[in-house]
Amino acid sequence: MRGADEPTDEHWLDPEIIRPYVVTRGRTQPAHGRFDLISMALAVGPPPGPDAGLDPEHLRIIQLCREPKSVAEIAAYLDLPAGTIRVLLGDLFDRELVSAQEPQSEVDMHDMKMYRAVLDGLRSL
């Protein structure tokens, strides 16, 4: 007999939990790269053929990234958690099928020319 606090069989079979785990083969971090939510991914080269050994989710990411997309956008399009997308992007990055552009670091954001350009743009509105 189960106690009130114990999970039910339905909890263990929840597709919202199982699918991302299976898609990433249990991995929680990409092998290379950080892939912040605002990191941009772009597919490079010709689309891989059917013999490339890629999962459907990998192929869908390549298709989506024919134009630059952020990690957050890809996650929304595929209805998968951002962590799962990061792992899949890492796979594609390792195979040189996508390039990634990380957001600028805060060090680069202290440039006075950039702030002046923003202020000038706001004043022109």
pLDDT given at position 83: 84
- pTM for the model stands at 0.65
Whether the predicted pLDDT of 90 surpasses 80: yes
Average pLDDT, the chain: 77
Nearest one of 68, 88, 103 to 25, comparing CA atoms: 88
C-beta separation of 90 from 32 below 8 A: yes
CA distances in angstroms from 67 to 41, 50, 103, 122, listed in the order given: 8, 21, 17, 29
**43: exposed, middle or buried (Cβ count in 10 Å: 0-12, 13-18, 19+):** buried
Check pLDDT > 70 for residue 1.
no
Name the band, by pLDDT with cuts 50, 70 and 90, for residue 115. confident
